[in-house]
Chain A
Amino acid sequence: MSGLALAAVFFAGAGLAPLVVRDAFFLDSLVLILIWGTCAAAWNVAGGYAGQISLGHSAFFGLGAYAAALLTTRWALSPWLGLAVGALVATAIGLVIGYLSNRLRGPYFVLATIAFSQVLLIVGSRWRAVTAGSEGIPVPFRPGFWTLGIADKRVWVWIVLGLAVLAYLVGLYLERARRGYQLMAVREDEDAALSLGVPARRLKVAAICVSAAFTAACGALWAQYVGFVDPFYVFSVDLSVRFALATIIGGLGTALGPFLGAALVTTVETYLRAQFGGIGAGLVGIYLIIYGCALIVMVRWLPQGLVGWIAERVRRRAVPGAAS
């Protein structure tokens, strides 16, 4: 129950904060935390529950961002439609990658996903006829909800929060439902799960599709929020690593973990950038050095992440007889 309570506090806090705080910087951070948290939660469906570690998830994020940006700039269609199209395309590609994942295990799958996001990076930056090439696409600001031209950051917080809660509910479903247990059984031992009649292949494909669709939706919203799509950013390996990192720090295969991880990672990054960044400063990379080291340290000593660590504490306190 403590997990649910913590999640309720987290999401209610995020939803109510805009009513109290008007500071643009704080609201901007909150929007980004929720977007990255949703991406991490989406990554977690494939990487955490299904055990399909992908380092090419930026491909889906970029697809969503490009779908929304292209539909608005070329055909003046609503970015909401772009979001849907991006999510659909991502699901279709997730289907293909999901079937590949049935052939590729462990590091081979990781390599294939990296290669795939690199292919999209090259297509995005070189196929000038469609994508505007390496200079990227500026997304025009057309006021209105349907066109997602919203200046008020509070509204953005609520829009993104809606998607975030949805992603959290998917995680919660997997933690409690039969399908979730089956998926985790596949992660732990695919052959054993298969022999028990678990439809391992279909479940893995479904997990990757859901994960891809959510990531693309995040990409579409992000493109509208930031107002610019840069192929070298949205398809980068760094972005894929960011999704994975937030999940691992928060707790792999937990519903709330990705959001806690994203909150921590985004806050630390913002702080360090403000501290060491700026024009002429050569220390902008410092937060990434810390990320790299954090990744090594976390997987070795705290593989359960923050959520696992907190749960451990709570359990110890709940059983006082065990300690003394």
Chain B
Amino acid sequence: MHALPQLIASTILLGSIYALIAVGLTLIFGVMRVVNFAHGEFLMLGMYLAFWAFTLVGFDPYLTLVVSLPLWFAVGWASYRLVMGPIVHASHNVQVFTTVGFSIALQNLALVLWTADARFVRTDYYAVVVRIANAAFNVAQVVAFGLAVALTAGLFAFMRWSYTGKVMRATAQDRHASALMGIDTDRVYALTWTVGIACVGLAGVLLAPIYPVYPTAGLQFVLIAYVAVVLGGLGDMAGALIAAVLVATVEVVGSYVIGTAWKEVLYLLLFIAILVVRPAGLFGQRGAEALGM
């Protein structure tokens, strides 16, 4: 098993990237009970932002990451006010179709503006590889891994210990009781959505040095993120992180054993199986998914 160290390294690096996308999704899913089908499109926009900042003004993606932070909060807040806010109390069908419509509109806006060409951010260090033991690491992947862990840990701490985080968790548990306790639940939803979108937008910027960007780039990542979110238990930050690594394991081992062509089938079947057998996820309480659903 000379390939084992490399398999483990690839799994951890890939898993951290999936986790990065999944944390924002699980936050929105957990607190607002909304499946955001437009999540991948914000990832795609983040990748395009990094690409254009790099191509037009020569910003390194990691510089863009810092500079664009306020921008992502603005994008999140504006999209909540315009699109999500009015339907946050509507039925699930309305929410599903609103985010699906949002996803189609954003995807094709990118198609019209920037064509369907796959574009790459070619930094000086894109091919730099670090070797430890028998495993090879791409520098950009290592950075993405570090930031993903930091972001997830930060979000986890925020939800657990800050007052705002407690308010958000209370709203997630029971929106009516929270409102009775004087919590402005609409503001909580606005904040949740904004933070979730900011997370995925930043994730997009972070992925730009590793993956090519095109208008439908978000879809492949977000499908995996859904798997991680459901597997981890809705709204469970740490669960999403562990589940993301699990999904990456399936993918890495699957492509090593049966080839890359069929790896997607593996995790999609895994996804359907989890949905059917344990919709509350590995760590969630049985039946929790039916509450508020």
Contacts and interface: CB of A to CB of B under 8 A. Distances in A.
A133 to B, nearest CB: 10
Contacts of B271: 111-112, 115
Given A122-B265, A282-B115, A289-B105, A115 B98 contact: no
Contact of A115 (B34, B104, B115, B223): B223
Among A111, A241, A284: residue with most chain B CB under 10 A: A111
A105 B293 contact: yes
Contacts of A291: 101, 104-105
A272 to B, nearest CB: 12
Contacts of A107: 34-35, 92, 95-96, 293
A312 to B, nearest CB: 19
B97 A295 contact: yes
Given A108-B289, A115-B271, A300-B98, A285 B111 contact: yes
A283 B105 CA distance: 13
Interface string B94-133: 1111101111111111011001000000000000000000
A123 B262 CA distance: 8
A267 interface: no
Contacts of A289: 104-105, 108-109, 112
Nearest to B38: A292
Contacts of B269: 119
Contact of B108 (A104, A112, A118, A288): A288
B101 A295 contact: yes
Contacts of B102: 292, 296
A285 B127 CA distance: 34
A115 B227 CA distance: 10
A296 B105 contact: yes
Most chain B CB within a 10 A radius of its CB, from A119, A283, A285: A285
Interface string B222-239: 010010001000000000
A53 interface: yes
A285 B98 CA distance: 19
B100 A55 contact: yes
Interface in A277-309: 282-286, 288-289, 291-296, 299-300, 303
B276 A295 contact: no
Contacts of B219: 237
Interface residues on chain A, size class: 35 or more
B93 A292 contact: no
A103 interface: yes
Nearest to A297: B101
B261 A285 contact: no
Given A104-B276, A111-B230, A292 B92 contact: no
Contact of A119 (B95, B100, B101, B265): B265
A245 B91 CA distance: 17
Given A282-B115, A291-B101, A106 B226 contact: no
A228 interface: no
Contacts of B264: 118, 122
Interface in A240-282: 241, 244, 248, 282
Please provide the 4 A-B residue pairs with the shortest distance between their CB atoms, ordered closest to farther: A292-B105, A295-B101, A292-B104, A285-B108
Interface of B: 34-35, 83, 86-87, 90, 92-98, 100-109, 111-112, 115, 215, 219, 223, 226, 230, 261-262, 264-265, 268-269, 271-272, 275-276, 279, 289-290, 293
